[in-house]
Chains A and B, each alone.
Chain A
Amino acid sequence: MENLRKGEWIAASVLLLCIAVLLLVSSTDFFLKEAADEIYTIAFITDDGEEDMYMKFKMGMDKAAEKWNVDIVSDVSEANRNAKEQERAVLEAVESGAQAVIIAPVDSRGLAEFMEKRKLNIPIISLDEGVGSENEQGTFLYDSELAGKELAGAVIEDYRSGVIGRRILLYAEKSGKEQTVLCMEALADTLAAADMEVVRKQYMQGIPLEEGVVVAVDAYTLGKIISQKELPEDLYGVGSSNQVIAMLGDGKIRAAAVGNEYDRGYLSVEAAVKSIRSGIRQQTVKLKSVILRPEDVHKEQYEGRLFPIG
C-alpha cells in the first residue's frame, strides 16, 4: 500500500467516494425517492347543491385518486356557497396538509387575494371559473356559451314545431357566476335572434315560477326546479345529475345540456397531481356539453356520459 503513487491514491479515493454515494442513493430515500411511494393529499371544496351530479364528479376523482395515489379530502357543505366560508375551508385544508385544492370558487378574485394575503402557496384547480392567481394550475369548465347556443337551438326547434310557446323564461341563480352569465347571454341572444320573447329571471326558492317555457340556465337552478312538486310543462336546462337524466328520460324535461362530470373530476385530480409533482401548469380546459332529448337517454352512445362506469 505504501508504494501506491499519489495519482493512484486519488483515483482509489474518488472511486470509494463514488461507491459510497451510489450506495447511499440506491439504498436510502434521501436523494432519490420512488415516485410511486408518495401519497398526495388533495382537498376538494364544494357545496352540496347538486348532490348526485357531484357523485359522478366524485367517481371520476376517485378513479384518478386510485391511479395517481391520491388521498382526497372532501369538504362538501352548503356553507361553501359563501365566499368567506370557502376561504376558511381552503385555509383549513392547507393547514391539514393538503398539497392542492380543487374548488369551484364563489368569488374567484376574493379567493386569489385571500391566498396571496395568507401566502398559501399551493396549486389551485378551479372548476367553473378561473381564480386568476399565480396558484391557479388549471381550470376545468364547460363551454357555457356553446351550451347556451345549442340549448337555445333545441328550444327554437320545439317552438318552430309548434310544441312550445314563444315566451321563454331564463332562470338562473343569484350568484352571477361567470359561466352562468355566459350561458344566459348566449341563450338570450340566440333566442332573441329567432324572434322569441326572452325574460331573464332570478330563481328564488319558494317563489312560484311564471307561466311559460322555463329554461334553467345553471345546474343548481335546474336541480331546484325539478325537486319541486309541480314541474313546468315545458322545461329545459343545464345539468347532469341522475335526477335530471331520469326526468329527461321520462320526458319531463324536453332537452338538457349535459356535461361529462366524470371526466371533469378525473382531469381535475390529474392536473392537481401533475402540478404537485412537477409544477406543470394546465391550460384552461373547456369541456363540451351535449344537448340531449328524452329519446337520447338510452342510446348506447350516451350511456357512458350519463351513467359512467365506476
Chain B
Amino acid sequence: MRRMLVVGSAVATFVLAAPVAAKADGWTCYYCGPAWLSSGEGHPSEYDGCNNFWTSNWLWKSDTALGTIAFIDTEGGWVVSRQTYEVNMVYGVDPANWVKKLYGKNSSGVGYSGEMRGWIWYVYTGCS
C-alpha cells in the first residue's frame, strides 16, 4: 500500500508537471558562445512556429565592429534587419506569431567573438 502511494504520487507529479515545464518562455542561443566569428560569417536559427515563436533577436560581440541581425521569413526574405557597430544589439518584433528564423552575422572586415540568442514565446495555436 505504502509503495503504491509513493509510486502513484511520483507518477502524478511527473505526468502533470512535465508538460508545464516544456512550455516556458526564455532565451535560447542559436549560436552559442562566446565563439569566434570570422569576417562575413553568419548563422541562422531554426524556423519557429507551431506554438513557439521567436520574439527577439540578440547579438553580442566582443568588438565595436559591424554586426547584423535579421528576422527572416519562410522564403528567405529579410522582413526586418538592423546593422550597427555597437557591442550589443537586441531587437523585438510585435506581432511575433508568424513563421520566421533569426539570423546574425559578422558584417565587418575583422573577426570577433560573439553569441546569438533568441527569445522563444510559447503561445498555444492548436498546432501539434
Report whether chain A binds chain B: no
B interface list, Cβ under 8 A from A: none
